[in-house]
Amino acid sequence: MNNEIKVLKFGGTSVKSIGRIEHVAGIVAECAKQCKVIVVVSAMGDTTDYLVKMAKSCSGNPEKRELDLLLSTGEQVSIALLAIKLQDMGVQARSLTGGQVGIFTESIHTNARIVDIRKETLADRLKDNDVLVVAGFQGVTETGDVTTLGRGGSDTTAVALAAAVDATGCDIYTDVDGIYTTDPNLVKNAALLRQLSYGEVLEMARLGAKVLHPRAVELARQYNVKLRVRNTFKPEDKGTLIVGGEMEIFRAISSVAIDKDQAAVAIMDVPDQPGIAGKITQALAKRNIGIDMIVQSFHPSIDHNSIAFTVSSDALDETVLVLEELKAQLGARSVQVDADCAKVSLIGAGLVEQPDIPARMFTTLGENSINIKMISTSEMKLSCVVSRDNAEKAARLIHEAFELHLLENKSAATVV
């Protein structure tokens, strides 16, 4: 066996039953014949949702420290079962929680960020074992409190460990063949993309595509970790490779993403004065509320502005509370909410410099009677907010208008 280390991550669908855990153990055991392996595992199936439901049956607003301690148990079940199976197959394996492997985070519960991984702990554990089975989604603070990394945090765990040990690669196993031009459950002829850049995948992840956690992609780009997204049930298929570099010139558009977890909030008729936007965003930041698309409308006849922005649906109620508290202080007239929102985004390269692309996208939606509520653009994305009922139809129309189903053959030649 050589000195190389590889990281494999398996999501909840890959380990949702004992039969699937046995299948995963087979993949891990085969990889362990070639090199040392770190396996990062999520909780089985819908375990995390079940644990959240139990917590909320005890309290409508469970304390976050206790919630983290509860949720972390889901991954502990998975890692122990997988390690037991690997040992039964003759593989020298050991299961470890985030704290045991030395993953330290900031002291923010339910959405912590990793601040340090004790490399010496990893090295010592790998000396004595061919496979380390590590609980994803969790870590500990310096004082020993258990924390979780937020939804999709197991991806972040895997990439962070890969960076810490300078792994040869990090394979993210899931229940699809790789990354597609859009959700293949919505668009039957969605094309499988065999190679993508970090930038493309980061935009997809941020804009609602259920491919990888954005923080995981950002980490991979920062530490140049070679990622693959692969199908657990087709282990011979290499899936989608994610590496550095720019998008190919022939692929100005790479995908369409949908995010239905959106709501729009507006604070109306705020005096047109310096610092207003800063006060609003600062108040939201103190509650750890992230905002996305922002539109400021100026009303010259009354010398006032209206400021509208989008937030995640989960943050809507708290956002409204913050703005209602600010309303009198800022001299605003009212706070208005539109909960019927979804974001449909086109991801590509150099979109700002290609005016025909937004023209085609907006025309396509207009000709099909889909109203656009908000628009946001950048170098790599073009996003529209539409009603939730229209989101899937909009994605299909845009996918067809830009002929994204043809991309599979063009990208297949880039696989390495």
Domain residue limits, the chain: 5-175, 256-405
Q: Which of the pair, 244 or 49, is modelled with greater confidence?
A: 49
Per-residue pLDDT at 251: 63
- Relative orientation angle of helices 198-206 and 214-223, to the nearest 10 degrees: 160
Residue 382 amino acid letter: L
Share the mean pLDDT of the chain: 91
Per-residue pLDDT at 411: 45
Q: Which of 319, 252, 309 is nearest to 283 (CA)?
A: 319
**SS3 assignment, position 22:** helix
Distances (CA, A) of 333 to 145, 175, 277, 316, 327: 44, 49, 15, 19, 7
Fold of 5-175: Carbamate kinase (3.40.1160)
Q: Which of the pair, 211 or 14, is modelled with greater confidence?
A: 14
Residue 350 CA, chain-centre distance (Å), reads 23
pTM: 0.84
Domains 5-175 and 256-405 fall in the same CATH topology: no
Q: Which of the pair, 409 or 380, is modelled with greater confidence?
A: 380
Query: From the CB of residue 127, how many other CB atoms can be counted at a distance below 10 Å?
Result: 8
The whole-angstrom separation of Cα 40 and Cα 369 is: 46
Fold of 256-405: VC0802-like (3.30.2130)
Q: How would you classify residue 102: left for phi > 0, otherwise alpha for psi between -120 and 50, otherwise beta?
A: left
Residues 350-408 pLDDT 10s: 787 888 999 999 999 999 999 999 999 888 899 999 999 999 999 999 999 999 988 86
